[in-house]
Structures are given as C-alpha cells and as structure tokens.
Structure 1
Amino acid sequence: MHRGLRWAGFAAAALVALLAAASCGGYLYLRLSTSPQTNGTLELEGLRRPAEVVREPSGVVHIRAADEHDLFFALGVAHAQDRLWQMEFQRRVGAGRLSEVLGRAALEQDRFLRTFGFYRAARSAYRSLGPEGRAAVDAYVAGVNAYLRTDPGLPLEFRLLGYEPEPWRPADVLVWAKMMSFDLSANYESELERYRLRARGLEPPRIAELMPPYPEDGPVILPEGGGASPQAERQAEALLRLRRSLPVSLEASNNWVVSGRRTESGAPLLANDPHLGLGVPPLWYLAHLKSPTLEAVGATLPGVPGVVIGRNRDIAWGVTNVGADVQDLYVLEEARDGRGYRYRGEVRPYRVREERIEVGDGEDVTLRVRETVYGPVVSGVVDAPGARPLALRWTSLEPEDRTIEAFLGVNRAGGWEEFNEALRLYKAPSQNFVYADEEGNIGYVAPGKFPVRREGHSGLAPVPGDGRWDWEGSVPFESWPRALNPREGFVVTANNKAVPDSYPYRISLEWAEPYRAERIRRMILSAGRLGVKDMVRIQQDRRSLLFEDFRPVLEDLGPLGPRARQWRERLLRWDGDARPGSREAALFEAWYTELTRLPAREVGRRYWDEPRYLLRAMRRGDRSCRPSGGRGDCLRFAARALERALERLGEEVPEWGAAHRAVFEHPVLSRTPLARFAGREVAAGGDAYTVNVGPYDPASFRMDSGPSYRQVVDLSPEGRSLYVIPMGQSGSPLSGHFDDLLGLWSGGGYLRMRTAGYEADDALTLRPAR
C-alpha cells in the first residue's frame, strides 16, 4: 500500500518445511492455538474495572468500559486478539526492522524507512502529547501487553517465522500514523518526477503539457473560499500564475454530506469510502466503543486507539485526502570534503546518525544518515537523478505531532465548535473532513499544518537548499478551509481542488482528476430528495466519465480492421457503466491503457496516465505522435491502440471482472507457497476515475487498492446507518472471520452500524487480575 516500498518475502523452502510440520495432527494444534478467547472471563493486569468485549456474528466488536482508560485498554486487547500479526508487521515497517525477521530481502526497505526516520518521529510525537493523549496511548499499550502476558496462541506468521512479539511501546502506536501520513503525502514523489523529466531534457512548458493543471471548470470543494479571511492580494495573484502549470495528484477517496433540505427524512446523510491498499488483513477494524465520556462507532486502525471514521452520539464525520503539499526537496551544495553543505552563506556540518539494521540471515548493516536543517538526506534511497544530495522537509518528521489527540477529541465532540476545537491539534496528513450532526448542521474543514512558502517557490520541484526557499510559517487555524451549512446544501470531496484561486494561501498545486467529484455532484443534483438507498447507489456507481470524454475520439479514429470496426460500434453504443460483467468495459480500459503509452519514449515510462494530456493530443496533435505530430497521426495511434487492445484481450473479449481482479495479498505469505491459502481475489468493476473506484496495474489489470471501508450514516432519529470492510475482522486465515465480509463488500452489501439491538455471538468479560 505504500508507494515506493516493495514488501519482501522470505525463503520458500523453510516455509514449506514448517507448513509440513504443522499438517495433519499438528494442524489441529495450530488451529486451536491461534484461536483467541472470545467467551467467558479473562483476567488481565492493568485493567481497573471489568469491561465487556462483545462480538456480533459478523465479528464486529462492541466494547463497554467504566472509563476511557479501560475502554482503550480493552480495544488494545481486542485488536491484539484479531490482528496481532498485522500490528506486529505495521510497527516493524515503521521502525525499519523487517530485515530482522525477513532477512536480506527486506534490507532495501529498511534502509529507506530508517533514512526517513519514521520511528524517531513517532517517539518524538509521543513526548509532545498532552496528558489525555498520553493516557490514551498508554492505556492502549497496556492492554496489548496485558494480552501478550496471558501467553496466547500466536498467529500463524509468528510460528512460521519462528519468533515471538516484543512488548508494545507507545511509539509503536504512533508510528503507523506516520506511515499513513507518508502514504497520503505524495508531493515529494511528484517533485522527483519533475526533476527526472528535467534531467531528461524536457523544458517546463512541455512538462506542463504532459502533466496538465486542474481544469478551470472542474468542481471545487469550497467554491466560495470557505472560512479563510482575505489576505494580501499580491499573494493570491502570485498563486493564480503558479496554478497554470500544475500536475495532478493520484490519491483517491470519496466523501460527501447532504443537509436535511435534500433528504427524505429531513436529517443529514453522510457517506465516505477511503481508497487505500487492499490486503490481508484489511486496513480497518469495525468497532463500537462506549464509556461514560466517549461513545463512537465506525472504523478503527489496529494498533491505534479510537475511531478514525464514523459517528458518536451527536456527530458523524468522514475523511478523504486533501493532497496538501507538506513536503519539499532541497538540492544541497555540498562542501568539498563532503562533510557539510552550504546554507545561508556558511558551511553547515551534517548531523550524522547511525542506524544499526539487524539482518536475520546475514551480517548486520550500519547505515549512516545525514541530517540537515531541513531533514534527512534521502537521495541515496529514492530514485533521484544527478549526484547532488537531496534533503527532505516534511511536516510529519517534525518533533511535535498531536494528531492522535485530535481524532480522540473528534470522538468526544458534541457539535461543530467542539469538532473544530478538537481539530486544532491536527497536523498531518491533512484530510477533507465532512461533518453532520443531530441538530441538522453539515460542514467541512481541512485541518493540518500547511507550510507558507515565499513567492516564487511553487513546491512543484526541488529547490536549492541554501536558505533562500525556507518555509515562512504555516496557515493559521482560523484560516483553514472550512464551511458550515453551505448554500448548496451539500459538500462533495473526492481529492479534487479544495479551494478557489482567491483563497490567500497555497494548500496544494496538485489535485486529483475531477471525474469522481463531478459524477457524485451530478447524481446528488439529479436525485431529488435522497435516502440511504440513494447514498448507497452513488457509492456503488461505476459510470465512467473518462469514457464520456474519450467517446468522441472513438468516432474519429483512423483506419480500422473489420474486428476493430465492429467493436468500435459496440463501444459507441455502450452506456459507460464499467460493471464487472461488461465486455465493452474490458475493451475500453484496455484501449485507454494502450493510449497511455503515447509519450513512453519521451518520458521514460511505459505508461503515462494523464487523461487531459491524452485528450489534448487526440484533439490537437502532439509531438509524441509520429511522424509529424499532427492530429491525424494521433488518431492513427489511437486506432492502432484499439487494435492492440483487442490483440491483448484475445479472440474473445472477456468480461471486465474476469480480467480486472481485486487482489488481497498477505504482505509476507503472498511470496510463498502459502499465497493461495492466505490471499483472495474477486471480480471487480470500475477504474481509477469511477466513484466505485477500481484502479489497476496497466500491465496486468490487477487491482490492489480501492474502497478500504464504506459507510453511510443517517442522522435521523430512526437512522439506518451502514458500514463494511473487505475481507473480515480476523487476520487469521484459520478463522471464520478471515474473509466472511468479502462477498458482502464485493457485491455492494453492507452491515448495519449498530450501537444497540445487535445480536451477540460471543461475549468476553475482562476482569482486573487478582
């Protein structure tokens, strides 16, 4: 799920031997020893008063406790019971300690992770927390460790790898938040892409053609500018000039909220489906938490206390990635002796930290990481052209980070003011929060630390690290983008442009293509009064506006063979619904993939997925279309692309779901003979630009990211709220809850989001140890 990181496997022969040892009679022992206790009574050290952990037949967990300490303690127990290996893997990823258990195959990843310093940042973040934040983290850690001290049967992965987990530490909780922030902060990668293209000899105007800016008529989340106070006009005018040559972010998630003026019940409705990595086990864990001071239900992250997305007694919220530009790369002018760099007229020595990486099947490695005033030198672990060092500045690597406290505050918030005040502590990754409450209000806010750059520094490409382009502070809390009860009666976010050009600060110059946002807006505006079923229909929609844009190209294609002509006519009659059973969808996606090969020679990439660049080429011509670069040459390229797509698909064009598979792989076992045992795949529809998103690897059509969680919250008194995750609540392939939700998720189904009146399949009472 993390860009640029390749999760490693380990020796298949050793696993085969271990699996053989666990077979037959050993299999029964393995199965029983990895089944957590979910009924009866469990005594635990560190618990203050009894707490209940009740599981529905679906595996959804309800936790009731006498106070927040015991609530988060019990959540730590429940997470560890169902997702201990996932939690272990996540903290090893964040700490750069994969090589200890996976060997030399993971050394490259550990070098990357240690260089960035995620775990150092997590330790620092813990020290910066206030008393309530520390108490929540400490209680959660105490719960995990209390469970480990009961000597539970360990998950399969520990047994196959031959080690036991260490006790949990507070930084283990906070490091996964750092990894999530990394996954949702892509700007340094787009800076590197631009840097690489310049190194290939491409000039800025050509790069702007290849990576076109957000369309002027694309939907804006806050078209009226939100709650930001007007600031210097020259600053806004400078931003207008910069935005004419901007790239597009690839992050993807949807949320929207509709006021009671537009709903059947007269109460708000809120929907959210964050698009993240699909894997084994799933990223999220469904839970209902209840104590006298906090009650919330929704999606939790194993390894972290609290509900991240969901609702409490009074409010509901959902998040998508803003795509804020919170990273900058700085090109250093190194001193002759290589021990320092020039900064503000003098040579500053590097601060060097040594990282010792233990390697399970080889010699330990000592990594020397150079630190600068900006942050670590990363050019040795990223794909950067040239010999000059690159240093990274990123808000998530700064010493203070109280984002986890912001989420806990949102869990407790009773209204709009408390919700905003809770988010005051939010740092990264910046998210588009949509909001609704029992009083009928809806709202939006984008919190976070947004750097303020001086005029002339776009943040789009690396700049000299000599002090001239240092950040000049951050956007104040009062000027964050926000709106309460907007005039339209709804807010839609799909990683599209968040603020208008008149907004006085530069949140980002990179936004996702507007197809998903535009489709959601169309469906809301055409629906009349909406109910829960309408929200589900929108969330499940696979109508392709990408096809709508490229359909005229099909009409103008150059010469085609008989089979291609026949299929072109079928595509022209197609309604654009990229459902799994559609053969037209399969051909369109294969054709579009072939089109993305147009500038391959120029950019040095096999595929170049920039729809507006490709459309411009088909309408006006492009120098990548040979021989002359005229429109006719581009249309002939598009005709050949349709022929190549048919060749790729074979004599009989398959249904889209047969070629396009949502793949759920185990991060370690997928590279072993146990892959089929631990992994799953299902037919999928959609593409990267449909609301029900279905992004895929263009070389294989495999989909390994998508809707990682779906929720629809009804704020009416009799509300019928819904949620679902793929796979299941348990991370064990031997559990009945390993994949029991996969069919529901892939078929467009949901579970009821209940806080009362649910069926109890298992009930475990946690008691303080005597």
Structure 2
Amino acid sequence: MSQKINFKMNTLKLVLLGVLGFLVLAVVVGFAVLQNVKTSAVPDYNESLKLEGLSEPVSIFRDEHAIPHIYAENEADLYRAVGFAMAQDRLWQMDLLRRVTQGRLSEILGKDQLETDLMMRALRIQQKSEKILASSSPEIVAALEAYSDGINQYIRKYPLPPEFKILQYEPEMWEPVHCINLIGYMSWDLSMGWGTEYYLHQLRAEVSDEKIAELIPDLKNHKTAIYPEFGNIEIEAAETLLSATENLTELGAEIFNGSNNWAVAGKKSNTGKPLLANDMHLGLFAPGIWYQMHQVVEGKMNVTGLVVPGQPFVICGHNDSIAWGMTNVMVDDLDFYAEKLNEDSTKYWFDGAWHDLNIKKETIKTKEGEEFEEELKFTHRGPMVNRFKKEKETPLSIRWLGNEMSNEIRTVFLLNRANNWSDFRSAVSTFKSVSQNVVYADVKGNIGLQCSAGVPIRAGSGIQIYPGDSSKYDWQGLVPFEELPYEFNPERGYVSSANNKTAPDDYPYYISHWFATPSRIDRIREMLEEKEKLGIDDVKAMHSDWKSKTAEQMTNVFVESLQKQPDFNETEQAAFSKLKSWDYNLTRESQAASIFEILYRKSMENLVKDELSPELFQGMLGQKMLLENLMINLLAEGQSQWTDNVMTDEKETFDDIIVQSFRETVTDLTTQLGTDVEQWKWGSIHTITLKHPLGVVSVLDKALKLNRGPFEVPGSFHTVCPYSYSYKNLYETMHGASHRHIFSTANWDDSQTVIPTGTSGIPASDFYLDQTAKYLDNDYHPDLFSKQNVGNNARFEMQLKPE
C-alpha cells in the first residue's frame, strides 16, 4: 500500500513539476513576446543607415531629449530624412491622425467609430487637400514627396510601433496629400459654431429668447481687444534703437483649444532685442501633438520649432531671421441652415426652385470584418448633419470655413524661409481655414501681430440657424487679407493675444461672438506693464502664472454677498476666512483655490439648473463659454432673469444663489477631503493624467506603461498657465499649454522650450514622456540652434547615407 501511495505522490509531483515548468515556460515566452512588442521599434539613434534617394549624406544629431537636429546638403535630402526620423518616433500617431481625416478609424478600432468616420467623411477634408496639392508650387510638392518617401522607407524596412501589433494591422504607404489632410483637420478642430450654435437652437425649446440673449457674449462687456488701435501702424525699427536697450479627445486627436502669445520690443527687453513667447493650449495626451525638430540646409535654410507628426514643415518656431507663434482667432466659421426638402429627401428648395442634393455613397469597413453602406447628402453649402446632431425635426446643413479654398501648407513652407515682416505677411496671407493671430519678431528689432483668418462675409449675426431656402444668408466671400487687423511696432513696445476679442467694436466686419473672456489677456498685459524691461526669466514667470483676473473679480463679489450671512457653521466660517484672505493665485497648495473653483462653477450652474431639463443642463455643462458670459453680463447689468429659482415660491436674488452655492461647495469639499479646511488643497482634487489612446484598456496600460499620472497641478482655464478641465469631468485636466517657447532674437541659442510629453511616441522609449517632469515644474531646456551648440550637446549622432 505504501508503495502505491509513494508512486502516486511521485506521479503527482512529476505532474505538478511538469505543469509548473509549462507555466514558467509560458511566462518566460509571454514575457519575451511582451518585451519584443514593447521594445522592438525603439530605434538606435546612433546607428548609421542607408536611405534610398539621398544624393548626399545627412547627419541627425539628437540632444538629451532626443530632439532631432537634421543637417542636409539640399531640400530633397532634408525632407526625406525628416520623414524617416519622424516615422522612427511617431509612426502610429501619424497613422491615427491620417485615419481621422479620412474617416477610417472603424477599420482598426471597430464599428463603434462608425459615426465618427462618417462625420469626418462628410467634411471632405481629403477632397480639398487634393485641390491644394494640385495647385501647389513644384518646390512644395517635391518636399512632400521626399518626406513621404522617407516615411515609406521606414514602413517597409523597420519594426513597427507596438500599437500596430496590438491592433493587428499594418500602415499603408504615406502620400503627399495626407500631409495636407492634417492641416484640414486642424481647421475642423478650431471650428467655433458646431457645438455652441446648435446648443442655442436646442435651448429655444425651453428658454425664452431674452434669457438666451444673456448667455451670448456682449462684446461691449469684453473691454480688451487684441488690436486696440487697429490703424495699420508701420514704423520700421532702426538699428540705432537696438543698441539702447504661443470621442476624438479620447483618442488624443483633438488639436487646438486656446493659446497665449506675446512679443516685447527691444526697448522693453533686457537684451535690447525682441523676445517672443508662445504657448498653444491643446489637448494634453500621450504622445503629445507636437514634435520638436530642427531642420538645416546649410547656407540656405535653418529653422527650428514645432512640427505636426504627418507633415514636414515647422508650424511655429524661428529661423535665422524671424520667430513666430500662434493663437486661435476664435472666428465664427461655421453656420447652420434650415433646409426645406422634398418628400423623398433627394432635393432641397433654394431661390424658388428644387435642386438635387449631392448624394454620395460611403462604404465603411470595420475591424470586425463588417461593411456598412451609408449615404451622405450635400447642398451647395455643405453636408446635411442631422444624424450627427441627432436632430429629427429640422433638416440642417452647414457651411464650414474648412471647405473654403486656402493654402496653409504654403504658409508654413514660406514661414520657414521668411526673412522679414514683408515675407512674413505674404506667407500668412493664405492661412485662412486655420484662423490664427500670428505673433512676429525679427533680428532687426521689429515686432508685430497679424490676424490671419478666413472671416466670412455674411448677413445676420452668425449665431442663429439661417433659413436655407434663399441665397440671402449665403456667404459672400471672405474678408480680404489687407483688411484684417494687424499691429507692427506699436509705441507701447509689445503685442499680445489670448483668444480674446480681436478688434474694437467699430471694426466693420463680424468676426465672432465666441472669444475667450478677457481674463488671460488682462493678466498678460498687467505683467507686461509691471516692469520697464523684461528678460527671459520674466517671460518664464508669465508662462507659469496662476493668478486669475476672473478670481480677483468674482471673489470680491462672493465675499460681499457672503459676509451678510451670520449663521455659518464652523467649517463654513473657516472656508469663508480662506476666501477672504486669498491672493487669487491658484497654487497646488491653496485651499482658497479649491473653494473658489467650486463656488464659481456652482454659482453659474445654480443660475440655470432650475430652468433646464436634465438633458439640456448636461449640454450646458459642455458650454462653459455660455456660463461664463452669463456671469459677465449679469455683473455688467446688475441683474438677470436667470437669478429667480422657478422651482420655488420665493423671488431669489444673486446673493441667494451665491449663499446656496457656497454651502454646497463646503459640503462637496467636506465629503471629499474632510472637515479640516487645511486639507482642501487645490492639487488634491485638480490633477492631470497623460493618457495614451489605448490606455483605456487597463491590461495594456499596465503592461506597456501607456498612461502616466495622476499629477497634481495648479491653475485653471482662466489663468495664463492653464490646466483646464470640463464641467462634465471635474477636475481632471484635459487641456493646457501643449508647449512653451521663449525665443530670444538677440541670441537664438538663449531660447528656451519644453513640451508636456517627449520626442518619442513609443512607450518603452526613454524619451516617451521624459520632458513631463520639467513641464510640471515650469522648467525648460535649451532650444539649441547654432551648429556648434548642437554638436557640443549632441547625445546621439546618426548618419543617413545614399544607398
């Protein structure tokens, strides 16, 4: 019997050892496979490679952050190398953005993306890109072809990033038109009317026109204009003066949101030459939207700055002679039209006759292997959009600036080569669909700011849904470039913009209602005026400024109302004391910042919540601009129809709203952080996590370390240093400065920069998010420019040689 037991025990041990061995082998194999997936596409930046099509060797130096500095003998070699280097670092991001513009996300992400794909196809981005490509100069076409070839050589010969393996597909070859598509997508992401104007249309079912009018910005209450004295001032700086002294959100595909830029003249600069600053406020995700790059054709072109992965030219940056940066103009560049259709919805009524709708069949393939046949319908203005807005009653079409002819790719190509103000203005004259206020500084001492925008000439306010049955409300073209506002060497010694009101009220054309409130621009100009002369450290302090003009104004209003209340409990009294003694700086450590942010939001919400259905109230939370302007208009007028709570028999005042909101604020913070007000630090609830598009899958996130964070952050959407969040997603930062640049025209090597993420889009790379810590600490790294400086600080050197 004992022998049998021993035999069974030994057999069991053998089986268990065999199973264990198999599990260990599986783990080892699995680990090896995982490591291969993670690391196989991480490039060796010191490796010398051969590239077909090169006529001369190309050197790629990379600094401590692996930012490429590419030196070539001619432009064809340069852009071929640019494409190759960018594919090394950002290939999957490039393919993702390309698929967004083509409406082809369903093929890799599944049929849940069908509506997104159909919407993007309705915008006809690639059709416009093809027209632009056909009309582009031979030099631009040659550059795009060389760039595309560099990408394609990488695709054919080298390991693909892990996302391709995870999603089990391979990228198609890159084409020049795809570069231009990315410019078109920026135009859509900038569009101001798509969400707000349709929401106002929905609101009319529940709210009177008088109350809706209080939500719409009254620009007379926006006192600060970007071009306050627009009168075409031109004074060339003389050399003698110089010596004296800028569901797609979840995919990381959302681009522009807000921005700051400014330039100070030599007379206000410690260097005696202009300083230029830019931080564009975009979606914050990993990998980030910008790719830092330095491109040199020796003796012909030397330009550095930010490139969008998928196109080769520097969007914002500087060359030997000039620097430039951008902010969104906030143009009202999209209009809705209520159309009259015939019974079978194949024709629309226009100017007394029926016209055929342009009906286009679309086939959308999905990852699941299914194919969906869909129809898109177009009037002469643009696509019918009912299914995308879930509008069942009124047939709606849109006219959108992105479908108007423009040539942004020409603009950035020429900006990279511009030598002076005249070259600069000629270049930006075709920057229409991506409407920007472009700041300028040059080595001769000049500064300027140019509104480069497609401003539609139309009848009406631009806000309402227009009747579509006649040509009365059709656009009559765009405002000529020569009539757009600009400033050149103003006497004050600086120019600045922050998405605020563009021009004074007497400007003859309607630009928009949808400007940012004046909070950021007022604080920027306050800091610009604080000192007679400014240096690089002063500009850094401006970039990292968390003092809010909105908080300064509103806190005084709140305190005045709250000090009338005698019955605060102990926690409420402690919270009120913090608010009263606050300096309006939204630091991570500030308790008053937490109290203010919640009180400000709740005061606006409690003004409107009682009069809206749950669905429209949720919609309002996505329209922060309307809530902010309701508050601005209320304070300017001293009263509002929104203050009375229609759910009670009392006649409430704004004081009542504030007290109610304050008590709710204290309750919220007590629930979340406890009764000790000292623990109510803003950074405890206000955070940022840099998320990868595939990081929503927990297993992938943990295995590949896709997401990073959460990190505690200061500021808010109304501070110069913005860490913005949606009222639908409290208080998780989604937008902020996508880069910070400070350009010194006195010595380009003194320039400073940082981005929130890093050069590489490959999560296993040391350079995936290696700039994040600097960014969060408001630190910078040198923006290397001279060849000697680049060479002395090079950590890697790659030679690309002709095959």
Match of 1:9 in 2: none
Residues 225 and 502 of structure 1 are in contact (CA less than 8 Å); yes or no, is this contact kept in structure 2? no
Match of 2:78 in 1: 71
Trace 1:526-675 onto structure 2 (pairs within 5 A). 526-552=530-556, 553-557=558-562, 558=565, 559-598=567-606, 599-603=608-612, 604-606=616-618, 607=621, 609=624, 610-614=627-631, 620=639, 622-626=641-645, 627-651=650-674, 652=676, 653-675=679-701
Task: Tell me the distance in 1 between the aligned counterparts of 2:450 and 2:278.
Answer: 15
Task: Tell me the distance in 1 between the aligned counterparts of 2:610 and 2:186.
Answer: 34
- Indicate whether 1:437 and 2:447 are aligned: no
Residues 257 and 283 of structure 2 are in contact (CA less than 8 Å); yes or no, is this contact kept in structure 1? no
Match of 2:726 in 1: 697
Q: Aligned letter for 2:600?
A: Y
Out of 257-266 and 212-221, give the one that drifted further: 212-221
CA deviations on 1:455-479 (whole Å, 9 max, x unpaired) are xx11112101122211112111211
CA deviations on 1:210-234 (whole Å, 9 max, x unpaired) are 23323445211111124399xxxxx
CA change 1:583–1:21 in 2 (3 A) is farther
Task: Tell me the distance in 1 between the aligned counterparts of 2:602 and 2:667.
Answer: 7
Match of 1:744 in 2: 774
Match of 1:768 in 2: 802
1:149 aligns to what SS in structure 2?
helix
CA change 1:105–1:347 in 2 (3 A) is same
Task: Tell me the distance in 1 between the aligned counterparts of 2:265 and 2:390.
Answer: 46
1:745 aligns to what SS in structure 2?
helix
Which of the residues 253, 258, 261 maps onto 2:259? 253
Q: Aligned letter for 1:581?
A: E
Match of 2:362 in 1: 355
Trace 1:122-137 onto structure 2 (pairs within 5 A). 122-137=129-144
Task: Tell me the distance in 2 between the aligned counterparts of 1:718 and 1:728.
Answer: 22
Larger radius of gyration: 2
Identity of aligned residues (%): 33
Residues 463 and 469 of structure 1 are in contact (CA less than 8 Å); yes or no, is this contact kept in structure 2? yes
Q: Aligned letter for 2:466?
A: V
Q: Aligned letter for 2:639?
A: R
1:34 aligns to what SS in structure 2?
coil
Residues 192 and 514 of structure 2 are in contact (CA less than 8 Å); yes or no, is this contact kept in structure 1? no
Q: Aligned letter for 2:230?
A: G
CA deviations on 1:671-707 (whole Å, 9 max, x unpaired) are 3422352011221110110000111133430001110
- Indicate whether 1:338 and 2:366 are aligned: no
1:299 aligns to what SS in structure 2?
strand
Task: Tell me the distance in 1 between the aligned counterparts of 2:39 and 2:719.
Answer: 43
Q: Aligned letter for 1:181?
A: S
Residues 625 and 637 of structure 1 are in contact (CA less than 8 Å); yes or no, is this contact kept in structure 2? no
2:508 aligns to what SS in structure 1?
coil
Task: Tell me the distance in 2 between the aligned counterparts of 1:427 and 1:137.
Answer: 21
Task: Tell me the distance in 2 between the aligned counterparts of 1:742 and 1:694.
Answer: 14
Residues 317 and 433 of structure 1 are in contact (CA less than 8 Å); yes or no, is this contact kept in structure 2? yes
Residues 271 and 712 of structure 1 are in contact (CA less than 8 Å); yes or no, is this contact kept in structure 2? yes
| Unmatched tracts of structure 2, length 5 or more | 1-25, 235-255
Residues 233 and 489 of structure 2 are in contact (CA less than 8 Å); yes or no, is this contact kept in structure 1? no
Task: Tell me the distance in 1 between the aligned counterparts of 2:481 and 2:120.
Answer: 31
User: Aligned residues, how many?
Assistant: 725
Match of 1:25 in 2: 32
Trace 1:129-148 onto structure 2 (pairs within 5 A). 129-148=136-155
CA deviations on 1:414-454 (whole Å, 9 max, x unpaired) are 00001111122222211010100000000010113221113
Task: Tell me the distance in 2 between the aligned counterparts of 1:672 and 1:354.
Answer: 38
Residues 587 and 645 of structure 1 are in contact (CA less than 8 Å); yes or no, is this contact kept in structure 2? no
Match of 1:503 in 2: 507
Residues 251 and 512 of structure 1 are in contact (CA less than 8 Å); yes or no, is this contact kept in structure 2? no
Q: Aligned letter for 1:126?
A: L
Trace 1:178-197 onto structure 2 (pairs within 5 A). 178-197=184-203
1:471 aligns to what SS in structure 2?
coil
Q: Aligned letter for 1:158?
A: F
Match of 2:56 in 1: 49
Residues 251 and 323 of structure 1 are in contact (CA less than 8 Å); yes or no, is this contact kept in structure 2? no
Q: TM-score, normalised by structure 1?
A: 0.91
RMSD: 2.1
Cα deviation for residue 72 of structure 1 reads 1.5
Residues 341 and 347 of structure 1 are in contact (CA less than 8 Å); yes or no, is this contact kept in structure 2? yes
Trace 1:327-476 onto structure 2 (pairs within 5 A). 327-384=334-391, 386-398=392-404, 400-454=405-459, 457-466=460-469, 467-476=471-480
- Indicate whether 1:679 and 2:684 are aligned: no
CA deviations on 1:388-409 (whole Å, 9 max, x unpaired) are 22111112123x3311111110
Trace 1:191-210 onto structure 2 (pairs within 5 A). 191-200=197-206, 202-210=207-215
Out of 544-553 and 534-543, give the one that drifted further: 544-553
Cα deviation for residue 614 of structure 1 reads 3.1
2:226 aligns to what SS in structure 1?
coil
Residues 116 and 378 of structure 1 are in contact (CA less than 8 Å); yes or no, is this contact kept in structure 2? no
Match of 2:15 in 1: none
Task: Tell me the distance in 1 between the aligned counterparts of 2:748 and 2:388.
Answer: 54
Which of the residues 482, 487, 492 maps onto 1:488? 492
CA change 1:359–1:368 in 2 (3 A) is same
Cα deviation for residue 582 of structure 1 reads 1.8
2:185 aligns to what SS in structure 1?
helix
Residues 322 and 419 of structure 2 are in contact (CA less than 8 Å); yes or no, is this contact kept in structure 1? yes
Q: Aligned letter for 1:474?
A: L
Q: Aligned letter for 2:398?
A: L
CA change 1:257–1:196 in 2 (3 A) is same
1:673 aligns to what SS in structure 2?
helix
Q: Aligned letter for 1:660?
A: H
Task: Tell me the distance in 2 between the aligned counterparts of 1:218 and 1:539.
Answer: 23
Which of the residues 749, 760, 767 maps onto 1:730? 760
Task: Tell me the distance in 1 between the aligned counterparts of 2:748 and 2:359.
Answer: 60
Task: Tell me the distance in 2 between the aligned counterparts of 1:38 and 1:614.
Answer: 54
Cα deviation for residue 612 of structure 1 reads 4.3
1:319 aligns to what SS in structure 2?
strand
Cα deviation for residue 650 of structure 1 reads 2.9
Cα deviation for residue 562 of structure 1 reads 2.1
Q: TM-score, normalised by structure 2?
A: 0.87
Task: Tell me the distance in 2 between the aligned counterparts of 1:620 and 1:191.
Answer: 25
Out of 634-643 and 457-466, give the one that drifted further: 634-643
CA change 1:615–1:347 in 2 (3 A) is closer
Cα deviation for residue 266 of structure 1 reads 1.2
1:49 aligns to what SS in structure 2?
coil
Match of 2:13 in 1: none
Task: Tell me the distance in 1 between the aligned counterparts of 2:640 and 2:748.
Answer: 57
| Unmatched tracts of structure 1, length 5 or more | 1-18, 230-249
1:199 aligns to what SS in structure 2?
coil
Out of 759-768 and 41-50, give the one that drifted further: 41-50
CA deviations on 1:277-310 (whole Å, 9 max, x unpaired) are 1111011011111013321111111111111111
Residues 228 and 478 of structure 1 are in contact (CA less than 8 Å); yes or no, is this contact kept in structure 2? no
Task: Tell me the distance in 2 between the aligned counterparts of 1:281 and 1:435.
Answer: 28
Match of 2:252 in 1: none
- Indicate whether 1:712 and 2:742 are aligned: yes
CA change 1:20–1:332 in 2 (3 A) is farther
Match of 1:113 in 2: 120
Task: Judging by fraction of residues, say which structure has more helix.
Answer: 2
Match of 2:238 in 1: none
Residues 233 and 490 of structure 2 are in contact (CA less than 8 Å); yes or no, is this contact kept in structure 1? no
